[in-house]
Structure 1
Amino acid sequence: MAIKRETRVLIAGAVIITLLICLLGLRQESALGVANIHAAAKKIWAPITNATLRPPKHIVPHIPQPKERLAYVTWLSSTVSGPDRDDFDDGYFIATRILVYQLLHAPKTRTNKSIDVVVVVTPDVSESRRERLRKDGAIVRPIDFLYADNDWLRPMNGRWRDIMSKLRVWELTEYSRILMLDGDMILQRPLDGIFDDPGAKIVKTLHNVTHLDDEGMLPSQYLLASMGEIPGPDHKYPPDWDDFYQDGYGRFCAGFFLLSPSKEIFNHYKTVLNIEGRFDSILMEQNLLNYAHRWSGPMPWREIASTWNIRSVNDNDFDQGVASMHEKWWEYPVSGSVRLHDYFMSVRWQMEGYYQAIDDDSTCCPTGPLN
C-alpha cells in the first residue's frame, strides 16, 4: 500500500511538473508573440490612437471632385481657309488637319489623357471638309456666325469678319475646361500638362472693382489664362514681359488660351460686343477678350507658363523645348529659320502619310476572311 501511495505521489508530482512546464512554455510563446506584434507595429508610421483619426498634416486629405471633361478646340471658317481653294492646297485647312493629327495621333505630341479634339466650324465650311476632319478623328461642331447688332466692327483684315464666332466656344458647356488654339499651330511635345498649370484654375469673379452696368451680369466664376504676345523673334527663353509688346503690357494673345465654358459669360461677351466703341475692333475677338479680362477689371486674365506657346519662334525656343509654335506651316517663320521651316514641312507630310495609309487601308483592302 505504501508503494502504491508513493507511486501515486510521484505520478501526481510528474503531472504538476509537466503542467508547470507547459504553462511556462505558453507564457514564453505569448511573450514572443507580443514582441513580434510590437516589432511589426514599429513598421507602421503611427500607433492606433485618437491622434490618427485625422490624417497627419503633411498628407492632403482626398476630396472627391467631379470628373472633368476637357477638350482641345480650334476654329475653322471659309473666310479664313477659302471656300474655293482645293483641300490639298488650302493652307489653313491643312493647318487644321495638322493640328488634329498632332493632338490625336503623332507619337511625340498626342494626348495621353483621351482629351477630345474639337473643330468648331461656321456654316460656310463645306460638308466634304467636315467629313474629312471627322475621318481624321476630330469631333466637328457646327456653330452659327456671331456679329454685332449694329455692324460697327472694323477688323484690320477682311478675313477676320466672321472671327467673333470663336466666342461660341463658351457655349460648349459639356466641357469643364478647354484649351483654345488657332489652327496655325505646330506642336513639339504634348499639351496635356497645361491643364495642371497653376494659372489654369477656375477662379471667382472679383466684386471689389468697378463694373459697368450696361455690360450685363457677370458670372460668379471664370477661367481665362494665356501669356503675353511676343512682337518678334528677338527674345530670350522663356520669354517674359521684357520680351512682350511694351505698349501692350497686360495683354494676351487670343490664339492660345484656356477657358471654362459658361452661358453667363458668353451672354456678357455678347452684351459688350453690341456696345459700339467699348473696345477697339481692329483685332476683333482678341481686343474684346482683353477688354473683358483686363487686369484692372472684375475678371482679370491669369498667366500660364510662356513655355507652352510662342509666337515668332526662333531656333533657341525650338532647342529649349517650347511645347507649341504659333506659326504658319507653309511660310518661313518670322525668324527666317530654314531649320524650323523644314520641321513644319516634315510635320505636314507626316500627317499626309498617316492619313493616306489609313484611307488606303480602308478602301483597297478586303473585309472579312480570305477564301
Structure 2
Amino acid sequence: MASKPFFSKKKPNFPLFLLLLCLTLTLLIHTTTYNLQPDEPPITSTTLRLATIEPPPWYGKLQYMLKIRSAKLKIGLVNVEADHAQVNGLADVTKINFEKVGGDKKWEDFFPEWVDENGKWGPMKCPEIPMPESYEKVDVVVAQVPNGVRDVFRLQVNLVVANVLVNSGWENGDDREMYVVFIGKSGPMWEIFRCDDIIWEEGDYKIYKPDLRRLQQKVNMPVGSCMIHSPSLQSGRLMSSTYKSREAYVTVLHSSETYVCGAIALAQSILQTNSTKDLILLADDSISPKSIRGLKAAGWKIKLIERIRSPHAKKGAYNEYNYSKLRIWQLTEYDKVIFIDADLIVLKKLDKFFSYPQLSAVGNDKYLFNSGLILIEPSQCMFNGLMEKISTLRSYNGGDQGFLNEAFTWWHRFHSKLNHLKIFHNTNDTRHEIMDGLYTIHYLGLKPWLCYKDYDCNWDKLDHRRYASDSAHKKWWKVYEKMNSKLRPFCGLTKQMDARIRKWRRIAKSSGFKDEHWKIKVKDRRQTLHMRL
C-alpha cells in the first residue's frame, strides 16, 4: 500500500495576511509624512495672507519716480503703523520716534494775543513741541496727519515730517529730491505743505514733492506767533541756492474810488523809502480811467480784476466785496508779495521782511492776525482752494480778515511796528502821540485825505476820538507834500466832503470838546478848490 506525502494540503489563513499588509502600509505612510520637509513650519491662513499681500498703490508710483536710484529705498514712518507700509522687503522701513506733545498744551499757548515784542521782561519764548532726537536719512516719509482745527498734535506731526524732509534732503551742500506720502482724508496743513507740490493723488493717498528751500524757511520759524523770528536765531544748515526770489508790494481797489488817494499816497511812501520791489495794484471796473492814469503815475502797475463777494457779509456793508483781496494769490509771476491796505503809509523800508514765509502778519485779538498787511506766496491752486472754502469757512467779521484767519491758522508774527494801528485807548489824552521807529501807520477811523490838512478830524467826532492823532496825521501829509503836484488833485475835497467836515466842527464846538481842535483856523487850500465828481 502506498504511503502519504510529507506535506499535506491545508486552507490558507487570509485574514492574518491582510492584517499584516495593512500594518506595513500604515507604517510606511506615517514615516513618509513625518519626514516630509521637517524644517519648515506648517502652512497657515496667516502665511497665505502675507504671501499674497500687495504693496500700497503709492509705492508703485514712487518706484516709477525713483527708478534711477540704485540703492534700496529708505522709508520713514511718522504717526503710521508698519502695516500701512507693507512693501515685502523691497525697501528699508523705519519708524521715526518722537515724544507726543503734552495734552495740557493749547493752541492759545502758541498763538497768544500779546507777546513781549521788545524783550522788556526777557527774551520771548514759545512752549516746546518735541521733535525727533535724531534724524536718520530717508528718501520718503509716510505720514498720517490727525484731523482737527487749531490742534497742537496735528501741528506737531506736520512739523516732524517737515523737519525729517529738510534734514534728509541736505546732501553734499545742496538739497536732493524728497517725497512724502500723506495717508488719510484730512491731508497735511497747507500752511506748511503747499498744494503746488502735490504730484499724485488717489483715494486717501497724496504724494508731495516739497520745495525744500521753502520748507526750510518754515521749519526755521518759531512754532507759533509766540515769538518774532530773528535771523540771528535761525538754526540748522542753510541750503545753498542761487535762486533770486521775485517780490512785490500789492494793494487792491474795488467797489468805489474812496481809496484812490490813499493808494497814491501808499505808492509814494514806498518809493520814498527807496524800495526796489515792484508795485502792483489790482483794480475792478469801478475805478475810472482818469484814476487809473493817476495810479500809474504814482508808481503802480495796474491789473484789472473781477471783485469777489463775501457770502457772509450784509448787502451794502463796507466789507461786502473784501474777498477781492484773495486775488493777490493769483499773482503767480511773483514768489512773494506783501499786501498793504490803501489806508496805510510806509515810513521805513520793508524790503528785508520778504525773508519771512507765508503767512506773516501782525497780531490782532486773541490768536488772530490783522490782514491789513500780510506776506503771502502766490499760488493758483491755493487761490482755487480759498475759493472752494469761502462758503464753508465762517468769518467772524464777515470780511476777509475773519476768513483768512480760518484759512491760515498757522501764521508768523511781524513786530507790531510793521502794521501800527492808529488807535488810542486813553481818550482823555488830548495829544495821542505816536511812537518812534514805526515802519507803517494804519489809519483807522476817518482817513487823512477826508480831513483838513490842519488837524486830524477824528477829534471832532465823539465816537472817533480814539483814532485821533495829529502826529500821525502830519506823517501822512508829509508824504503828500513830497508828491508830484500832478498827483495832488486826486486827494482833493468835494463840496460834500467839505460840508461834512464843517458839520463835525460845529458839533464839536457845541459839545465843548476840551481839546479845542474845532478852534483851529483852517488853512487847507483844498477847502476852496473843490473836486468835481
Q: CA 1:61 to 1:71, structure 2 compared with 1: closer, same or farther past 3 Å? A: closer
Deviations 1:215-252 (A, max 9, x none): xxxxxxxx1110112xxxxxxxxxxxxxxx3xxx1101
Residue in 2 that maps onto 1:144 = 306
Deviations 1:179-209 (A, max 9, x none): 000000122211112213xxx12xxxxxxxx
Offset of residue 335 of structure 1: 4.8
Residue in 1 that maps onto 2:373 = 256
Indicate whether 1:225 and 2:360 are aligned: yes
Structure 1 moving runs of 4+ over 6 Å: 314-317
Deviations 1:111-145 (A, max 9, x none): 1xx20011110122112211221122211111112
Query: What TM-score do the two structures reach when normalised by structure 1?
Result: 0.57
Residue in 2 that maps onto 1:121 = 283
Partner Cα separation in structure 2 for residue 66 and residue 250 of structure 1: 34
Offset of residue 349 of structure 1: 2.8
Contiguous gaps of at least 5 residues in structure 2: 1-171, 174-236, 425-430, 459-465, 489-533
Q: Secondary structure at the match of 1:75?
A: strand
* Contact 1:72–1:178 under 8 Å retained in 2: yes
Q: Secondary structure at the match of 1:280?
A: coil
Q: What is the aligned counterpart of 2:257 among 78, 81, 86?
A: 81
- Code of the residue aligned with 1:329 in structure 2: it is P
Deviations 1:289-326 (A, max 9, x none): 000112xxxxx111122221211256888442110010
Higher relative contact order (CA 8 A, sep 6+): 1
* Contact 1:170–1:266 under 8 Å retained in 2: yes
Partner Cα separation in structure 2 for residue 350 and residue 145 of structure 1: 32
Q: Secondary structure at the match of 2:371?
A: coil
Residue in 2 that maps onto 1:321 = 437
Indicate whether 1:184 and 2:343 are aligned: yes
Q: Secondary structure at the match of 2:279?
A: strand
Q: Secondary structure at the match of 2:264?
A: helix
Q: What is the aligned counterpart of 2:399 among 270, 284, 288?
A: 284
More helix by share: 1
Q: Secondary structure at the match of 2:251?
A: strand
Residue in 2 that maps onto 1:42 = none
- Percent of paired sites with the same residue: 24
Offset of residue 174 of structure 1: 0.3
Partner Cα separation in structure 2 for residue 288 and residue 271 of structure 1: 12
Indicate whether 1:94 and 2:261 are aligned: yes
Indicate whether 1:301 and 2:411 are aligned: yes
Offset of residue 178 of structure 1: 0.5
Offset of residue 80 of structure 1: 4.2
Indicate whether 1:171 and 2:314 are aligned: no
Partner Cα separation in structure 1 for residue 315 and residue 370 of structure 2: 16
Partner Cα separation in structure 2 for residue 317 and residue 262 of structure 1: 40
* Contact 2:433–2:469 under 8 Å retained in 1: no
Please identify the structure whose Cα radius of gyration is greater.
2
Deviations 1:134-182 (A, max 9, x none): 122211111112236xxx4224962322221110110000000000000
Partner Cα separation in structure 1 for residue 328 and residue 467 of structure 2: 32
Q: Secondary structure at the match of 1:68?
A: coil
Residue in 2 that maps onto 1:348 = 480
* Contact 2:246–2:335 under 8 Å retained in 1: yes
- Code of the residue aligned with 2:381 in structure 1: it is E
Q: Secondary structure at the match of 1:255?
A: strand
Q: Secondary structure at the match of 1:189?
A: coil
Partner Cα separation in structure 2 for residue 317 and residue 224 of structure 1: 31
* Contact 2:372–2:419 under 8 Å retained in 1: no
Q: Secondary structure at the match of 1:123?
A: coil
Residue in 2 that maps onto 1:18 = none
Partner Cα separation in structure 2 for residue 70 and residue 316 of structure 1: 35
Q: Secondary structure at the match of 1:258?
A: strand
* Contact 1:329–1:341 under 8 Å retained in 2: yes
Which of 185-194 and 342-351 deviates more? 342-351
Q: Secondary structure at the match of 2:417?
A: coil
